[in-house]
Structures are given as C-alpha cells and as structure tokens.
Amino acid sequence: MVTTHTTPEGIIFRSSYSTAEVFFDAQGVWHIAGLWTRKDFRGHGHAGRLLRYVLAEADKEGKTVTVSLDTDNPDLARKKYISLGFTTKGSTRNHYMIRIPSKHP
C-alpha cells in the first residue's frame, strides 16, 4: 500500500519500506528529489515498485518526470531508470534523465 502527502511544492509517496519525494516546477514537471529504502530492506525491489507507482501516477496526470543522478551513483540506479523509460539528457557532474508520460498508462 502506498500513502501520499501532497503539498503545494510536491508529493511524498510512502510504502512500508521506501519513500519517494517528488517536487513540481512551474511547468508542472515532476522532479524526483529522493528515493530511498530502509537499509535493512534494500535489494528486494521495494524502491523499484514504489518508483513504478510514482510513474503510473505521473502518467495518469500526463506529467513528465525527471531525475538527476550523481555520476558517483551506482550504474545500477541509472540502468533501473533507463529500464523504466528514462533517457539521459546531459552529463556533467550529474546524469540528468527525463521520462515523457506514457501514452498507454
């Protein structure tokens, strides 16, 4: 089960083991500011399930979603975002990734 807390700045999504913070910009784009899982529950797909939920909600709203990954972030995280439809839109110190809403949510 996922609970949400909406503020004027964004939404916090919480499952039993993971949390995602999403902020909105002036154009309505959703920016994933944080996604984490309790340390003792990592490696079991909890963050991935929550991320898929967040993306399904964004698709319902027709929202573009972005995330900025530090280049020090494990390649596994970048591959996970790519597998969920994100593409890299630049690379400096960060990998800036973007996902256009699915036409078939």
What CATH number is attached to the domain comprising 59? 3.40.630.30
Structural domain includes residue 20: yes
Structural domain includes residue 66: yes
Whether the per-residue pLDDT at 93 is higher than 70: the answer is: no
Q: Which ranges constitute the DSSP H helices of the chain?
A: 46-61, 75-83
The residue behind tokens 């990998």 is 95
Average pLDDT over every residue of 6-32:
94
Alpha-carbon gap, residue 42 to 26, rounded angstroms: 34
Minimal CA–CA distance to 98: which of 61, 69, 65, 76? Answer: 65
Total domains in the fold of the chain: 1
34-85: per-residue pLDDT in tens?
899 999 998 899 999 999 999 999 999 999 999 988 767 667 788 888 899 8
Q: Which residue has the higher pLDDT, 72 or 99?
A: 99
Structural domain includes residue 78: yes
Pairing mode, strands 18-24 and 10-14: antiparallel
pLDDT at position 4 is: 96
pTM for the structure as a whole = 0.85
Alpha-carbon gap, residue 97 to 35, rounded angstroms: 15
Whether the per-residue pLDDT at 104 is higher than 60: the answer is: no
